[in-house]
Amino acid sequence: MPSEVITVSELNRRVRASIERALPLSWIAGEVSNLTRAASGHVYFTLKDANAQVRCVMFRSRAQLVPWRLENGQQVEASALASLYEPRGDFQLNVEALRRAGLGNLYEAFLRLRDKLASEGLFDDDRKRELPRYPRRIGIVTSTQAAALRDVVAAFARRAPHVELIVYPTLVQGTEAPAAIVAALEAATRRRECELLLVVRGGGSLEDLWAFNDEAVARAIAVSPAPTISGVGHETDTTIADYVADRRAATPTAAAELASAGWFAAAGELAALASALSDTMEDRIEALMQRLDLIRHRLVHPAQRLATLGQRLDHLAARLSAAGRTGSHRRSSRLQGLQLRLRPPPLAEQRRRLEHLGNRLGRAFAAAHALRSTQLARLNSALAALNPQATLARGFAIVRDEAGAIVRDAARLAPAAGIRLQFETGSAAAIVTKTFPD
C-alpha cells in the first residue's frame, strides 16, 4: 500500500512544479483559436496545429506589448512556459511574448546581415558624419502616401518653415520596396541638391519594416554624399538602416526635429534677443521721455525769456557803471600815491643814504672775504692730506700688478709674478720671489 496520501491540490502543485522544471521557456508555433479577451486585460486562446492543441493564457502586462491585434486564425509563434492551472488541473501555456509565424527566420537573417555589415565597418562611429547645423534644403526619402511624410512636414512647418523640403518618393513596404528605396537614394545622390537626407517610415511589424533591413538599401545609405538620418518605425523598432545612417531617430517626427535642431535653437536665441532688444528699446524710450518732460518744464516762452534777459542786461549795465566809477576812483588814488613816491627827496638826504650804503657794502665784503679765505684754507689742508703724492713723500710706494691694478693683498701675488713699484719720484719693475702673511 502507498506510504503517503496526498490531496488533489498537492498533486496538482507537484505536477506543475515538475512540468515547469522539465520544460524550459520555448518558442511554440501554431494557429490561434477560441480567442477570449477578459475584462481584466488577460487574453485566453488555444494554440493548435493539424494534430494537437493546447490552452494558452497571456496576462495583461504581456498582452499589451503585442504590436498587432491578435485574432483567430492567425499563425503565430509563442514564447511560452509549460505549466498547470492547479484549481482545475488543466495543462496550459503561460505565454510571455508573441510574434507572427516566420519572424524567427527573419530575425536570424537580420542578425546575419547586421554582423556582416558591422564587420565591414559600415556601422563604425568614425565614419559617421556631422549633421549640418543650418541646412537650407533637406531631402525626404519616403512614400508620398505615408503618415510619416505628413509628420515630417508638420514638424518642419512648426520648427523651421523656411527650410526647403524635397521628397524622393518611394515604396516603403513590400517586395518591390527595397529596389524603390535604392532608386530614390540614387536619385538624391545623382542630383546632389540636398544638404541632408531623411529616410523615414511609420511604425509597423517586422515584415512591414523589412525593406529597411535590405543590404542594397543599407549600402545605398552608406555611400550617400549627404549625411543621413534614419527615422523608421517607432521607438522600439531598430533596422539595419538605423545602424548605417549617420544618425538614428526614434520616429519620423524625431528625425525632423533632429534635422531642424540648429534652426530651432537659433529661432529661440533670436526670440530671446528680440525680447532683450525690445526691453532695451522700451527702457531707452522711457528715459528719453523723462528727459523730454524735464526739458519741456525748463522750456519758457520766448517773450518771457527776452524779458528775463532784459532784466539781467539792465542789472549787468548797472553793475558795470558802478564798477567803472569804483575803478576810476581807485586808479585816481593810486596815481596820487605814485606821484608822491616819485617826487625826488632832497640832495643832502640822498648823499647821507649813499654813504651809509657804501659803509654797509664794505663791511659785508670784508666779512665775506674772511669767511671764504678760512673755508679755502680748510679745504686745501684736507686735499693735501688726501694727496697720494704726500704719502709717497713719507717713504711709501704704490704696488701695481702686470695689468696695472693696485695690489692691496699680498695673497693675490704669485711667485715670479711681475709687479711695478711707484715712488715719490720715479718707478721700478720687480719680480715677486715670496709673499708673507700679515
Identity of the residue numbered 360: R
pLDDT at 38: 92
**Domain stops at, among 234, 259, 284:** 259
CATH number of the domain that 245 lies in? 3.40.50.10550
Question: Are 244 and 130 in a shared domain?
Answer: yes
pLDDT of 343: 67
d(CA 78, CA 98): 5
**Residue at 408 is within a domain:** yes
pLDDT at 59 > cutoff 90: yes
Residue 303 lies in a domain: no
Q: 158 with 228, same domain?
A: yes
Contacts of 125 (CB under 8 A, 6+ apart): none
- 419 pLDDT above the threshold of 80: yes
Shared-domain flag, residues 130 and 197: yes
Q: Is residue 350 part of a domain?
A: no
Burial-class residue 378 by CB neighbours within 10 Å (0-12, 13-18, 19+): exposed
The pLDDT > 70 percentage for the chain reads 97
Asked whether residue 245 falls in the same domain as residue 151, the answer is yes
Residues in Cβ contact with 81 at an 8 Å cutoff, skipping those fewer than 6 apart: 20, 23, 24, 25, 93, 94, 96
In a domain, 203, yes or no: yes
Distances in whole angstroms, Cα of residue 333 to Cα of each of 87, 224, 250, 320, 339: 142, 110, 108, 20, 10
Q: What value does the mean pLDDT take over residues 406-432? A: 83
Position 184 scores a pLDDT of 95
- Please tell me whether residues 139 and 206 are part of one structural domain: yes
* Domain annotation covers residue 310: no
CA distance 135 to 278: 29
Q: What average pLDDT is seen over the chain?
A: 87
Which ranges of 343-387 does DSSP label H, i.e. alpha helix? 347-386
Predicted local distance difference test score (pLDDT) of residue 345: 65
| 164 confidence band (pLDDT: 50, 70, 90) | very high
Mean pLDDT of the 300-315 span? 79
CA distance 416 to 62: 115
Residue closest to 51 by CA, chosen among 70, 22, 31: 31
Q: What is the CA radius of gyration of the chain?
A: 59
Q: Is residue 77 domain-shared with residue 156, that is, in the same domain?
A: no
- Give domain status of residue 304, yes or no: no
23-48 pLDDT, tens digit per residue, is 888 888 899 899 999 999 999 999 99
CATH number of the domain where residue 36 is located? 2.40.50.140
Among 73, 101, 129, the domain boundary falls at 101
Q: Give me the mean pLDDT over the 401-411 stretch.
A: 82
Structural domain for 23, as ranges: 8-101
Same domain flag for 38 and 128: no
Per the domain annotation, does 284 fall within a domain?
no
Could you report the per-residue pLDDT of 339-389, keeping only the tens digit for each? 777 766 678 888 888 888 888 888 888 888 889 989 998 888 888 777 777
What confidence tens digit (pLDDT) does each residue in 173-227 have? Answer: 888 999 999 999 999 999 999 999 999 998 877 778 889 999 999 999 999 999 9
> Are 188 and 229 members of one domain?
yes
* pLDDT of residue 1 exceeding 60: no
Residues 253 and 111 in one domain: yes
Predicted pLDDT at 192: 93
pLDDT in tens, 118-157: 999 988 989 999 999 999 999 999 999 988 999 999 999 9
Indicate the residue among 259, 286, 316 that finishes a domain: 259
Predicted TM-score (pTM) of this structure: 0.48
Does a structural domain hold residue 355?
no
Question: Do 130 and 20 share a domain, yes or no?
Answer: no
Q: β-strands 247-248, 228-232: how paired?
A: parallel
State how far the Cα of 156 lies from the Cα of 117, in Å rounded to an integer. Answer: 32
Q: How many domains in the chain?
A: 3
Which residues does 414 contact at the CB level (< 8 Å), separation at least 6?
432
Q: Are residues 155 and 76 in the same domain?
A: no
- Environment class of 199 (CB within 10 Å of its CB; exposed 0-12, middle 13-18, buried 19+): buried
On whether both 185 and 131 belong to a single domain, the answer is: yes
What is the rounded CA–CA span in Å between residue 10 and residue 54?
A: 23
